[in-house]
Amino acid sequence: MGKIMGEIKDVMINRLDIPREIIKNSYKIVIDGDEFITIENHRGILKFNEHEVVLKVDNGVIYIVGNKFTIVYISGKTLKLRGVFKGVNYEQV
């Protein structure tokens, strides 16, 4: 049954042009230059300060490091940050 659902999801992604992150319930990170970053489908903010943001995602954690972080937009499972980014790391748990 699991294999069949996976195949159905792949067909929906490939043939119907439905975004992968919606069908597979995965996160999406969009980096806009060196000033903005948007994370979609996160599961919660674990840590937030001026130098580090830690977000829970399915099967892992995203670490964003840098300086002068501020929240530009937050709604449901979407977070947009502004700041000076030095790195983004993913750790599977």
Write out the two tokens for 38: 């948007």
Digit-coded pLDDT (tens) for 47-56: 999 999 999 9
Q: Are 58 and 20 in contact (CB under 8 A)?
A: no
Digit-coded pLDDT (tens) for 33-67: 889 999 998 999 999 999 999 999 988 999 999 99
Cα dist. 70→3, 49, 85, 87 in Å?
42, 8, 12, 16
Is residue 51 classed as helix, strand or coil in its secondary structure? coil
- pLDDT recorded at residue 23: 54
- pLDDT recorded at residue 30: 92
- What predicted TM-score, i.e. pTM, was given to this entire model? 0.75
Taken in order of first residue, the domains within the chain and their CATH numbers are 25-92 (2.60.40.2000)
